[in-house]
């Protein structure tokens, strides 16, 4: 199957996996292995507070995955810029998952500060993956600034509500044909991931749905299969929907070997 394209990086897996909230370090490592992901997200503060015996970071390095640092918790463009610059030095990568939160209860992005931060980061050579709303105008502005990957929310972070507005996702796919679209936030079950992929999204970023499952590694494997299935379904193109039934076996020109006289 074709690869997921993130700027100049190509990945075999279409799942990006978060590294927070797991019940244990072992559970996180097992989930990463089961998911077969090639990129994990890491909050900068975990590295800063890890110290020389940072077993978390050692585990991430041993996984062999690419690291996508994020600006989780930032509320202004200036704060996000500071975190992104530090992340570039610590993780030795130009990739950054840009989050600028505008509300403490919904954790929705502040799109005004987000666009401001994205412009500066792109001008400074960062490869920005912005966590944003599913609003077409906001997404288009980010694309116009130079973002080649857009990560709209399916629903509130950690809510597990799934994709609450599929029509917006359809619109984004139809209007942003050449942009990599990854659903970020709100996914709760593998069926949510299937829907995202069937709507034409290129990938899924997960954290809570896997980490808070009773069996994170098993759930990670379930999502792996779901994402692959949804992508294949999108490429295969579904049958047309109809208002009325249509017989799968037409009667016209059908031979009847047992006729009633």
Indicate which residues carry an active-site annotation: 97
Give the Cα separation of 151 and 159 in Å (integer).
17
How is residue 52 annotated by DSSP?
A: T
The reply to whether 207 sits in an annotated binding site is yes
The reply to whether 208 sits in an annotated binding site is yes
Q: What is the dihedral of CA 90, 92, 96, 99, to 10 degrees?
A: 0
The token duo for 258 is: 């047992």
Give the Cα separation of 8 and 126 in Å (integer).
12
Name the residue among 158, 188, 139 with its Cα closest to residue 196: 188
Give the Cα separation of 130 and 61 in Å (integer).
24
The reply to whether 191 sits in an annotated binding site is no
Name the residue among 68, 55, 48 with its Cα closest to residue 207: 68
Work out whether the CA dihedral 249, 253, 259, 261 comes out positive or negative: positive
The reply to whether 18 sits in an annotated binding site is no
Binding-site residue set for 1-deoxy-D-xylulose 5-phosphate:
158, 185-186, 207-208
């Amino acid at each position: 199957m074709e690869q997921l394209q993130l700027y100049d990086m190509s990945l075999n897996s279409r799942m990006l996996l978060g590294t927070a909230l797991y019940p244990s370090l072992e559970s996180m490592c097992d989930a990463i292995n089961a998911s077969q992901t090639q990129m994990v997200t890491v909050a900068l503060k975990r590295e800063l507070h890890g110290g020389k015996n940072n077993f978390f970071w050692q585990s991430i390095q041993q996984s062999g995955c690419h690291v996508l640092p994020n600006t989780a918790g930032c509320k202004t463009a200036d704060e996000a810029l500071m975190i992104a610059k530090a992340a570039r030095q610590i993780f030795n990568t130009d990739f950054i998952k840009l989050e600028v939160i505008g509300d403490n209860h919904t954790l929705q992005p502040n799109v005004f500060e987000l666009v401001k931060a994205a412009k500066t980061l792109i001008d400074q050579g960062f490869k920005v993956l912005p966590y944003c709303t599913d609003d077409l105008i906001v997404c288009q502005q980010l694309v116009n600034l130079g973002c080649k990957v857009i990560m709209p929310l399916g629903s509130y972070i950690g809510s597990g509500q799934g994709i609450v507005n599929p029509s917006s996702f359809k619109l984004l796919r139809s209007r942003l044909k050449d942009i990599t679209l990854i659903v970020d936030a709100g996914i709760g079950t593998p069926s949510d991931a299937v829907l995202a992929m069937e709507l034409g999204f290129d990938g899924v970023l997960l954290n809570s749905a896997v980490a808070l499952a009773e069996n994170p590694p098993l759930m990670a494997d379930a999502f792996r299969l779901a994402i692959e299935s949804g992508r294949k379904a999108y490429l295969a193109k579904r049958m047309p929907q109809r208002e009325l039934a249509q017989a799968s076996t037409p009667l016209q020109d059908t031979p009847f070997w047992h006729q009633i006289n």
